[in-house]
Structure 1
């Protein structure tokens, strides 16, 4: 692998196209620039610059290397600078990704409280679908993600539950369940569920499938993520269903639904629901921000709530990130501040 000074010399020379100016910027001699470039060319196995007495031009290979290496090198420098600033409590930028309008409103309030405590720090909010948010977090392009739980992944940490809302079922407007006061598991025999992409964490896909309606709970679901441990909405035991006349046996997950189509985003999921291709569990706020003439939202009897919180990368916890989580907990009254 090239050494740091080789990469830096190559990129500066690619910008300046002049050995003297490159040497001035790097505070080294012109001979040192030439030696470094020749060493890098030996590593690559091809000339990176065409040199004449009057001009310096990158070769095709040199131009390609500069185009691919430049952004990555700048990203490394920016990441190191952010880490240094965070370690010394200096001004910096905290990047938080979210999706839903309700989440955006909430995060604006948290950001205001956070900025009031960390002078000079800015919060950049970035909207993105869930799968893209997780990719951005893994790539280090955002520091925190606000999302629905559970999202179990070895490299990600789920913070404390910040918001809990009733779980409802999105159904087609013309479906027999659209007129129901509430939906129980026995109502869903043979009803297809719209599915989520396979590259989302299994814990999240299960929590948005038949298992969440039947009260079985997904791995790391609400019962283990800070939600109510002994009671469900309606006052009965967790996962219980209010009786409707004579007791009915609880259907199994396999009996409860058929396989429906896959929706990559919430808008895609609701489009599929509206087209009559399946149903899908959502949080209650969806009714307000995603009202559609072809979709009706009905309460799910005995279902665990939908929970929201902040996630961060296990290897990139920072003082600024911890301060933002504490501000969110305090603003939302979500219990004692935790230390991510």
Structure 2
């Protein structure tokens, strides 16, 4: 297998989606499909089961992924180290994050990055959606991992690195707090607190302007911090769409988090000033992606452990 073939195969094995694989690797969807078909002809066996709505590894494909992945990662690490030595990973890499979940994994990636590149410092800074991109534009950050989508002509962005199920934060005394889940239609019943001054296209993605029935959703742009969000929700001034990370990072007796059935997960991805990524950025993004993949692998293995 050629290196590019391995890269396409492993990425599709991770994403299980041809479009996301193509976007992540910067190739066409046809290139991904042709590569997999060529590999399957060469091996004489299907590596993936796919239809118009679903992609899954076959047992042979899963075994090939496990056999190839470790060796490929060792090769890639060797290449990265050689490139770092040639280009000189020095100075500092300044990274912004917009949520506790992202901050946690950035800190873990920063620790690994410092070990690999001791001459390059990593500076980490929190940003908020009410002022999402000013630090990048002012040259105060090199890279930011934040909510997607990003549609700014002077900024570049990459494929999602993390996904987080959406939940509705409500006062614990609210009738919805006793339910197992809610739908977008339920968002029409209360004001929905959203970040002030966040880009309109991002707000439309995080909280739609109307429910499928056509009923409007009252979005109230008042929030400038997560602490303010919790205070206003607890006070009964509205509800808020948040990620499931809030259950772990912002657990409070006066607030209940209820899963939203019919909204996709919130996606977080890398954003940087327009132009090509630096080698330091690429190395850091690779570390974040690898850490997140390892977490997902552990979660899946626990999910399949037999019960006593």
Q: Please, what TM-score do these two structures have when normalized by structure 2?
A: 0.62
**In proportion to residue count, which structure has more helix?**
2
Flag structure 2 segments of 5+ consecutive residues without an equivalent: 1-83, 295-308
**Who is 1:110 aligned against?**
109
CA distance in 2, matches of 1:324, 1:142: 14
Report how far residue 316 of structure 1 moved: 6.7
CA distance in 1, matches of 2:208, 2:193: 10
**Who is 2:165 aligned against?**
166
**Who is 1:66 aligned against?**
none
Report how far residue 181 of structure 1 moved: 1.0
Report how far residue 87 of structure 1 moved: 9.6
Judge conservation of contact 1:189–1:251 (CA < 8 Å) in 2.
no
Q: C-alpha root-mean-square deviation of aligned residues, in Å?
A: 2.6
Judge conservation of contact 1:145–1:312 (CA < 8 Å) in 2.
yes
CA distance in 2, matches of 1:256, 1:175: 21
Q: Does 1:202 align with 2:200?
A: yes
**Who is 1:140 aligned against?**
139
CA distance in 1, matches of 2:128, 2:184: 29
Flag structure 1 segments of 5+ consecutive residues without an equivalent: 1-84, 215-249, 335-340
Report how far residue 86 of structure 1 moved: 11
Q: Deviations over 1:94-117 (max 9, x none)?
A: 011124333222112211332343
Secondary structure, counterpart of 1:210 in structure 2: coil
**Who is 2:154 aligned against?**
155
Judge conservation of contact 1:147–1:309 (CA < 8 Å) in 2.
yes
Equivalent positions of 1:1-340 (< 5 A) are 88-132=87-131, 134-198=133-197, 200-211=198-209, 214=211, 250-252=212-214, 255-260=215-220, 262-315=222-275, 317-333=277-293
Structure 1 residues 119 and 191: CA distance shift in structure 2, 3 A: same
Structure 1 residues 263 and 318: CA distance shift in structure 2, 3 A: same
Larger radius of gyration: 1
Judge conservation of contact 1:115–1:122 (CA < 8 Å) in 2.
yes
CA distance in 1, matches of 2:162, 2:106: 12
Report how far residue 267 of structure 1 moved: 2.1
Report how far residue 118 of structure 1 moved: 3.1
